[in-house]
Structure 1
Amino acid sequence: MGIRDRLSRLLAEAPAAAEAIEHEEVWWTWGSVQATAAAVARDLQAAGLGEDARVGVVLENRPEHVAAVAALIASGRCVVMLSPLQPAARLAADIARCELPVVISGGEVLSRAGVLDAVTASGLALRLDLDGSVHTAGGTVPAESSTNPGVAVEMLTSGTTGAPKRIHLRVEQLDQALASGGQLPKGDRLLSRSASLVSAPMVHIGGLWRALACLATGRRMILMPKFVLEQWVRVVERHQLRAVSLVPAAIRTVLDAEVPAERLASLQVVTSGTAPCPKELADRFFRSYGIPVLMTYGATEFAGAVAGWTLPLHEKWWDTKAGSAGRAFAGVELRVTGEDGAELPIGESGRLEVRTAQTAQGDTIWVRTSDLARIDADGFVWIDGRADDTIIRGGFKVQPDTVKRVLETHAAVREAAVAGLPDTRLGQVPVAAVEAEPGSTPPAVAELIALCREHLLPYEVPAHILVLDELPRTPSSKVSRVDLLDIVRARLAEPTKA
């Protein structure tokens, strides 16, 4: 049973009194979810928007928003993700670009300057209230509305290296992604008493995948607006969770706070995706708590992860394979090719290609990624960086990850980021920023330059290095190279002190 049929069955058959979603320690029952989903479907039908219609959702981590997304996917409509995390002007511009016949949003977002006007300029605004009720907030549905047949979600990328893009995910991709991740119901059981935590933004693939995984398996969903350490720890304790998903920044937060091991005693595993998790960080968490960190590799384009670690793999291979992204999941084939497209021998680095039903092209076509990788003799994938991140400095190629790893060997550096700054003479030059370790004396720029000169080729040494209290991040906790370059430009524009 695919996710569309699964959601349809839940909205029709789940017991009304059963717990569905906990938010801020208050439970939404399945009856509440069903009522909101029915109201959304009724208003869209009355507006003449049937199957395949594109419907915008300014998606927040709230129960009523989960209900709206469930209603849209179950009915065969296309969810167009709109991020509430961006400033009002950018959100309004995003809505205007999409030309949507209907946009569903919470009232607080619609009250932001220019947002409601952007919605009603091309379509109907539906306000989704905190109690799950749905109301018209203005505008009308145009006579001719756009559709996107076969597409379940127009999903936002994280926007770490440029403006976020929308990836079109077919329902078959979602089905395969859930199957590859083992997120299928057991037998014909509709609901489960177990619970899963969703703390990543649902407007990005990590949060959406986990929310859909809860629904696909019938587990109760614990929904947090965002990761906040003490609230997260209380959720783990209260529900005695056995598995959670944390981005590397959150793993580091748990370690730095020295959360007592007994508060996390129920956990058997932590999965980590969205951004690469340094092996030192994963190993430190494992040695501190005895809880394996299972890294995954994926992308929005694949509707989730296509490779990763499992507990059996961790038990057998961690000591020798730490730092790899794991092995291909079921239903996924991986290979590495050269620039001419020919497959490379085992262990050689090149462009990673994926063949799976999780891609838009289906399971018969190899899809070339932007990632540089190698696959060893045991099938483990090692990510070496991104081809499209390569900085060309006067004809010489610089891999940001190479520079980043060197900077992170400094004892006072918590994390580093490297980007290419346009340069009129050389084309690009590498620039870097480091986040200082809390409680330590921030490293001097001269020290960092000396470290780079010792371990890097001359053209790999950054032209500028900044020491920051915090690196700029996207809502999904990845370092934002766009914002990093803005900070570098601003610092360079500052008057030089005499």
Structure 2
Amino acid sequence: MPTTGLQRLLDAALRRGPNRPALLAPGPPLSYRALEDGAALVAGGLWAEGIRPGERVAWRLPNGPEAVLLSLACYRIGAISVPINARLTEEEVKAMLARIEPGVVVLPAEEAEHAAALGQPALPWPALLGAAPIDPVQDLPEDHPALILFTSGSTGQPKGVVHSHHGCLAAIDTCRLALDLQADDVVLVGKPLSHAGGLQTQLLPSLRAGAQVLLATRPSAATAAALIQQHGVSEFGLLASDLLDFVDHLETRQLALPSLRRVIGSGDTVPMELQKRFRELFGWPVLEGCGMTEVGGYYAMHPIHGERKPGSIGRPTPGTDLRILPESGTTEVAEGAIGEFAVRTASATIGYWKDAKATEALFRDGWLMTGDLGRRDADGTLWFCGRRKLLIVRRGSNIAPAEIEELLDAHPAVHAAVVVGIPHRRDGAVPVAWIQPQPGAPAPEENVLLTYLAQHLATYKLPAHVLLTAELPRNSTGKVDRRQLRELALARLAGEGQPLPVPHPEG
């Protein structure tokens, strides 16, 4: 083929109906023909600026038509699209740009005055609209780099995850099939397009299916509900933490959203209590899945059709081979045993940008090691048990924060809970629970929560401390910032001069 599959992303939708709406909001609706023509125009603007295949085009744009057109334009000419999260600080952005050495940085028109501070060649968005449109660059290999997505960096410095044309399209098709997206769907994209969750699992699979898309940036629960009602949204994906706010809003206002057929909670586990409340509202369960930037999207998800086991993450997504491996080797652990999820999929990254050591460590004999721990039951359903990096090792015993969080989330006095590990002079590390109390309710007492947990957990798993917070901090992707919570726990306990009394882990 003279062009790659990714360059032909919109072809099926254009054949189905070029004048059908593609983007409904924000701004005036854009048809699929307008998207294709707009991408050709922006590609011409990049080419006029000297951007050629393989050069990086960094962009810091909000969720809107500009971000969509620029992404498609980069694929069109073989440039490497590098979205930068708009929530990052100037120093964080400068560090990322220094690593990728972009040919150009594209900014919103209103940020043009900040371009010089980035230390890189920068252009305001309107500067790309004055050249003649161009056709796709031909004869690019399918393994040509198309996209660099930065990890959230919650446990260290963000890495630049490189995806090829073939890998991007594979991830897009995996999500399209897993979510059963159709041309009659209306999809609300609320996750940032600077991350896989917004770009690869929502926006581009929807366009590939010929669906209609609304773009927002982590809309409030009230805004999301209004958009769903106004446009007849059928599918909405959001972070598990935002799902809690969404359900709270619908319950207190008794809103009905009959057009919704699918809601996906991601980024963290959806607590069982929240799943129960969701089902009572809608009469059908929320979808859960597990994915990562290095896979470009989901590697496991609840089946759209068929039985869904609450609390599980479903089964491997279409085109994904999955094994559960021990700490070494590629022989699977026994059924029901906990190991690390390892996957083989066409959507896997081709490596980290200029980081051969980290790339080598990511794979084991061709299997991508996800860092996610879990098990598989007798019928093949997968169960997530926590992140390997988040495991708390207390006197040689492993503690998964997710197990404690699940119980705390079910307590009536708790709105949300996060468990982090902190160093301890005797035990190596101990869990500390952060609690966000229910709004308007009395704050739960530490001894009450510990007594409650002791009814369900072995003694060594009990938190050393329970700390209260009015709001859980978020990182740049909107997920709970565990690293910041760990630092806050250390600072607060040191400030209080507490000796960290903890029970012995023999229980």
TM-score class, shorter-chain normalisation, is: 0.7 to 0.9
TM value normalised by structure 1 = 0.84
1:281-310 CA deviation, whole Å, 9 max, x = no partner? 223211222133121121111111122112
Q: Which stretch has the larger CA shift, 461-470 or 62-71?
A: 461-470
- CA distance in 2 between partners of 1:454 and 1:283 (Å): 22
- CA distance in 1 between partners of 2:164 and 2:23 (Å): 26
Residue of 148, 162, 173 corresponding to 1:168: 162
Q: What is residue 460 of structure 1 aligned with on the other side?
A: 461
Kindly indicate whether the alpha-carbon contact (under 8 Å) linking 1:371 and 1:383 is maintained by their aligned counterparts in 2: yes
Residue of 103, 128, 133 corresponding to 2:125: 128
1:317-366 CA deviation, whole Å, 9 max, x = no partner? 34xx2111001122112121222322122211111111221223699932
* Greater relative CO, 1 or 2 (CA 8 Å, sep 6+): 2
Kindly indicate whether the alpha-carbon contact (under 8 Å) linking 2:6 and 2:165 is maintained by their aligned counterparts in 1: yes
- CA distance in 1 between partners of 2:125 and 2:369 (Å): 40
Residue of 180, 194, 200 corresponding to 1:203: 194
Judged with a 3 Å threshold, the aligned counterparts in structure 2 of structure 1 residues 65 and 311 are, in CA distance, closer, same or farther, namely: closer
Deviation at 1:192, TM superposition (A): 4.7
**Which amino acid is 1:354 matched to?**
V
Judged with a 3 Å threshold, the aligned counterparts in structure 2 of structure 1 residues 156 and 14 are, in CA distance, closer, same or farther, namely: farther
Judged with a 3 Å threshold, the aligned counterparts in structure 2 of structure 1 residues 312 and 38 are, in CA distance, closer, same or farther, namely: closer
Q: What is residue 254 of structure 1 aligned with on the other side?
A: 246
Q: What is residue 277 of structure 1 aligned with on the other side?
A: 270
Q: What is residue 82 of structure 1 aligned with on the other side?
A: 84
- CA distance in 2 between partners of 1:481 and 1:355 (Å): 28
Q: Which stretch has the larger CA shift, 378-387 or 350-359?
A: 350-359
**Which amino acid is 1:332 matched to?**
T
Structure 2 unaligned runs (5+)? 132-141, 351-362, 499-507
Aligned residue pairs: how many? 469
Deviation at 1:67, TM superposition (A): 0.6
Q: What is residue 110 of structure 2 aligned with on the other side?
A: 108
Kindly indicate whether the alpha-carbon contact (under 8 Å) linking 2:177 and 2:318 is maintained by their aligned counterparts in 1: no
Deviation at 1:134, TM superposition (A): 6.8
Kindly indicate whether the alpha-carbon contact (under 8 Å) linking 1:127 and 1:134 is maintained by their aligned counterparts in 2: no
Is the counterpart of residue 287 in structure 1 residue 275 in structure 2? no
Structure 1 unaligned runs (5+)? 136-147
Q: What is residue 303 of structure 2 aligned with on the other side?
A: 310
Q: What is residue 350 of structure 1 aligned with on the other side?
A: 339
Judged with a 3 Å threshold, the aligned counterparts in structure 2 of structure 1 residues 36 and 425 are, in CA distance, closer, same or farther, namely: farther
TM value normalised by structure 2 = 0.83
Judged with a 3 Å threshold, the aligned counterparts in structure 2 of structure 1 residues 14 and 346 are, in CA distance, closer, same or farther, namely: closer
Judged with a 3 Å threshold, the aligned counterparts in structure 2 of structure 1 residues 3 and 295 are, in CA distance, closer, same or farther, namely: farther
Kindly indicate whether the alpha-carbon contact (under 8 Å) linking 2:323 and 2:332 is maintained by their aligned counterparts in 1: yes
- CA distance in 1 between partners of 2:119 and 2:29 (Å): 31
1:200-237 CA deviation, whole Å, 9 max, x = no partner? 11111110121111221222221113222222112211
Deviation at 1:158, TM superposition (A): 2.7
- CA distance in 2 between partners of 1:437 and 1:158 (Å): 28
Kindly indicate whether the alpha-carbon contact (under 8 Å) linking 2:59 and 2:107 is maintained by their aligned counterparts in 1: yes
Where 1:385 maps in the other structure, the secondary structure is: strand
1:58-89 CA deviation, whole Å, 9 max, x = no partner? 14212112111110012222112211111223
Deviation at 1:247, TM superposition (A): 2.2
Query: Counterparts of 1:370-449 in structure 2 under 5 Å?
Result: 370-423=371-424, 426-449=427-450
State the Cα RMSD in Å: 3.2
Is the counterpart of residue 65 in structure 1 residue 67 in structure 2? yes
Kindly indicate whether the alpha-carbon contact (under 8 Å) linking 1:445 and 1:467 is maintained by their aligned counterparts in 2: no
Judged with a 3 Å threshold, the aligned counterparts in structure 2 of structure 1 residues 133 and 15 are, in CA distance, closer, same or farther, namely: farther
Kindly indicate whether the alpha-carbon contact (under 8 Å) linking 2:45 and 2:129 is maintained by their aligned counterparts in 1: no
- CA distance in 1 between partners of 2:267 and 2:4 (Å): 24
